[in-house]
Amino acid sequence: MDAMLTLQGVSKRYRAGDGDSIVLQDIELSIRRGEFVALLGPSGCGKSTMMNILGCLDRASSGRYLVAGQDVATLDSDELAALRCRTFGFVFQRYNLLASASSSDNVALPAIYAGMEAESRQQRAQQLLTRLGLGDRLLHKPAQLSGGQQQRVSIARALMNDAPVILADEPTGALDSQNGRDVLALLQQLHAEGRTIVLITHDLEIAGYAERIIRLRDGRVESDSGPVPRPPQELDRHQLPAVRQLSLARVWEAVQMALVALQANLFRTALTLLGVIIGVAAVVTMMAIGNGSKAEVLDRIAAMGTNLLLVRPGAPGVRPTGKIATLTADDARAIASLPNVNGVVPMRSGSGTTLRLGNKDYQSEIQGVWPSYPQVKSWGLSQGAFFGPAEEERQAAVIVLGQTVVDSLFPLGQNPVGQYVMVSSIPFEVVGVMEKKGANSFGQDQDDVAFVPLSTAQSRLMGQRYVSSITVSMASIAKSSVTEQLISRILLARHGSEDFQVRNTASLVEMITKTQNTLTLLLGLVAAISLLVGGIGVMNIMLVSVTERTREIGLRMATGAPVGSILLQFNVEAVVVCGLGGLIGIAIGLLAVWGLKLAGVSAVYSLLPPLLAFSCAFVTGCVFGYLPARKAARLDPVVALAAE
C-alpha cells in the first residue's frame, strides 16, 4: 500500500497580536491509500486546521505536504484547484449547501469545475442522491430537508467527482444519534469501496468507526494506532473528462448560473436593474429627442429654401431694419449679372398699410417686388397672374393679394381678380391671388401680404428708393460660398464700404446643426451620467453579493473552482444584470420615444443611440463587475468557508 497523504514536519502558525500562535507543530504523518483514519482530539487542538491543509484549502507555514507523492508547494492556485476538484471530497459539519440551489444542483456543483457536461452532471447527481436514499428529494432546496438529509446531500456532493479521498470534519456534529450513525455507516461503505476517508471528531465513540485513530493534542500527534495491514484494493473510478478551457459553453453555463443567482434575490436584482434601465432608457430617449429637434429645425430651414441668398442693408453685426438705407434696385440689377445667379428680387416692404374695398378695411403688409418674385421664391398663383415687366416699367397700380387678405376683403368668395382695392387713396387693380402658403416656422401667417411692383411702391406708396432686402436664387448650392463672395465684392465696389450683409441658408443650416449637435451631446451626457450611476449601483450590489456569498465562494473553491471561474461567474452576473437592464432599457426607451411622437414631440428613431447605450451598459457591467469579482476570486478558500 502506497502513501496517499504525507505530512513531513508540517507546522501552522497564525500571526496573533504581538506574537505567533502555533496551531500545528512538526506533524509527521502518512495516510495510505484506502485507509479509514479518525483524527481525534479536543476542541481547539487544530483538527480543522489540519483538515484544511490536507484538503489543500490552506498551506502549511513550514514543512512539506505531499499528495500521492506530489509536493503541493510546487502547485499554483489553479493546479491546486484542479487537485482539489479531482482528489478530495469535503463533508462539513454545517453541510455548506447552496441555499438557493436544489439538492441535485448542489450535488452536481463540483462536476462543473471538472468539466462534465450539464446533462451527464444531472444524471450522475440523481444517481448518487438515489443511492443515498434521496431519490424523491432531487428538487428540494436545503431548507426543505432535515439535517440528516442535508448531510447526505453533502456526501453525495463529495462523491460527485468520484474523489478518492473524503475529508469529513465533524460530519455528525449537527445530527442526532440515529442520523449520525447512518452517516458514519455511509462513510464505512465508501471506505469499503476503496476510498481513503479522513474523519475528524472530538468523540472517541465516533472515532471507533475508523480503522486507525490518530490523537491530536495541542497541535501535536499524541498517539497513532498505526495502519492496519490490508491487501491493496483498486478504486474503480468514474471516468472524468479532461478539464475544459474557457469556452463558449463555459461562458453560457456561467450565464445560466448567474441567472439562477439573480433569481434567488429577485427584489434586489430588480432594483439594480432599475438603475441600468433608467440609464439606458434615458440615453435612448434623450438622443431621439435631440435628433428629432435637429431634424425639425433642418426641415424648417429647407422649407425656407436652401438655394437662396439674402442680402440685407446694414454693416455686418448690425441688426438689419427697414430703416437702413443702403441697398437699391440697381444693386439687384448688378447682382443679376453674376454667374450662378438664377434670379434676383429686390423688395421694399411697408407694414401696416390699409387696404380698402368698399366699406371694408384690412391692414396688411404691402411688398414692392420685381415680377421675378414668384419664380425666385417658387411661389405660384391660384388665380390671375403676377404683374410683369411692363407694369414695373410704368409704375402701374396693380396688386397681387395673399390668401388671407382675399379671405378678409372677399369673405363671400367673390373673384377678386379685376376688382379694385384702395391703398393710400390710390385704386389698385387686383391682377392675381397667391397660392395659400400657411404659417412659417415662426408662426407667422405668410399669406397676410400683398404685392405691388417695386417701382410703384417706391414712388407712389412709400416715397423711398431704397429696398429692404434683395433675395438671390442660385443655380447650384454647391457654389454658394463663391457666389456669396462675388456679391460681396460687387456691392463693396458699388458702395465703397461694407454696409450690407449677405446671409446664406446653408451656413445657417451649418450653424444650427452645430448647435443642435451640442444639445444632443449634452442630453446624451446627462443620460450617460445616469448610466454611470446605474453602473455604480451594479458594483455596489455586486460587492454586497460577494460579501453575502463569501461561503458560497469558499465552497466553490473547495470543490475545485479555479480563480478564473469565480472571476468569470461574478463578472458574468454583473454583465447579465447590465445586459438585461440594457435590453429592457432600450425597449422602454423606444416605447417612450413612440409615446412622445404620439404626443407630438419630434423625436427620431435611430440605431446608434440604442446600440451605444447597450454597449455602454455592457461595458459598465464588465468594468463595475470586475472589482467585486476580483474581490471574490482573491478570497482565501479557508477564510471564505469560515465566513458567517
What part of residues 348-407 is at the interface with ligand ADP (CB under 6 A)? none
Q: 514-520, long-range: CB within 8 Å, 24+ apart, which pairs?
A: 516/290, 516/293, 516/294, 516/297, 517/294, 519/290, 519/293, 519/294, 520/286, 520/287, 520/290, 520/291, 520/294
556 binds, among Mg ion, ligand ADP, none (CB under 5 to 8 A by kind): none
Residue 605 · residue 292 · CB < 8 Å: no
Nearer to ligand ADP, 17 or 496 (CB): 17
Asked if 14 is part of the footprint of ligand ADP (rule: CB under 6 A), the reply reads yes
Q: Are strands 398-401 and 341-357 parallel, antiparallel or unpaired?
A: unpaired
Residue 410 · residue 467 · CB < 8 Å: no
Measured CA to CA, the distance from residue 124 to residue 107 in angstroms comes to 9
Q: Which residue is nearest to Mg ion (CB)?
A: 48
23 binds, among Mg ion, ligand ADP, none (CB under 5 to 8 A by kind): ligand ADP
Nearer to ligand ADP, 23 or 541 (CB): 23
Nearer to ligand ADP, 48 or 504 (CB): 48
Residue 468 · residue 322 · CB < 8 Å: yes
- Spatial CA neighbour of 629 closest among 551, 559, 547, 532: 547
Q: For residue 576, what is its C-alpha cell?
A: 447579465
The least CB distance from residue 48 to Mg ion, in Å, is: 3
Nearer to ligand ADP, 84 or 215 (CB): 215
The least CB distance from residue 184 to ligand ADP, in Å, is: 19
- Spatial CA neighbour of 370 closest among 435, 432, 451, 483: 451
Question: How many residues make contact with ligand ADP (CB under 6 A)?
Answer: 11
Measured CA to CA, the distance from residue 184 to residue 194 in angstroms comes to 16
The least CB distance from residue 536 to ligand ADP, in Å, is: 33
49 binds, among Mg ion, ligand ADP, none (CB under 5 to 8 A by kind): ligand ADP
Residue spans of alpha helices (H) in 417-504:
454-456, 480-495
Site string for ligand ADP, 427-466 (x = CB under 6 A): ----------------------------------------
Q: From residue 103, give the alpha-carbon distance in Å to each of 65, 408, 489.
A: 34, 87, 89
Asked if 23 is part of the footprint of ligand ADP (rule: CB under 6 A), the reply reads yes
The least CB distance from residue 203 to Mg ion, in Å, is: 12
Residue 373 · residue 451 · CB < 8 Å: yes
In this structure, what are the phi and psi dihedrals at residue 484, rounded to the nearest 5 degrees? -60, -45
The least CB distance from residue 44 to ligand ADP, in Å, is: 4
DSSP state of 460: I
Containing H/E element for 280?
helix 266-304
Nearer to ligand ADP, 14 or 252 (CB): 14
Asked if 135 is part of the footprint of ligand ADP (rule: CB under 6 A), the reply reads no
Nearer to ligand ADP, 46 or 589 (CB): 46
The least CB distance from residue 551 to ligand ADP, in Å, is: 15
Nearer to ligand ADP, 218 or 296 (CB): 218
- Please report how many Cα atoms fall inside a 13 Å half-sphere around the Cα of residue 217, on the Cβ side: 4
Residue 313 · residue 500 · CB < 8 Å: yes
DSSP string, 355-388: EEETTEEEEEEEEEE-TTHHHHTT--EEEE----
Q: Which residue is nearest to ligand ADP (CB)?
A: 48
What part of residues 26-85 is at the interface with ligand ADP (CB under 6 A)? 41, 43-49
The least CB distance from residue 151 to ligand ADP, in Å, is: 18
Q: For residue 515, what is its C-alpha cell?
A: 448647435
Nearer to ligand ADP, 44 or 241 (CB): 44
Nearer to ligand ADP, 219 or 279 (CB): 219
User: Residues in the site for Mg ion, rule: CB under 5 A?
Assistant: 48
The least CB distance from residue 526 to ligand ADP, in Å, is: 49
359 binds, among ligand ADP, Mg ion, none (CB under 5 to 8 A by kind): none
The least CB distance from residue 35 to Mg ion, in Å, is: 21
Binding-site ranges for ligand ADP (CB under 6 A) = 14, 16, 23, 41, 43-49
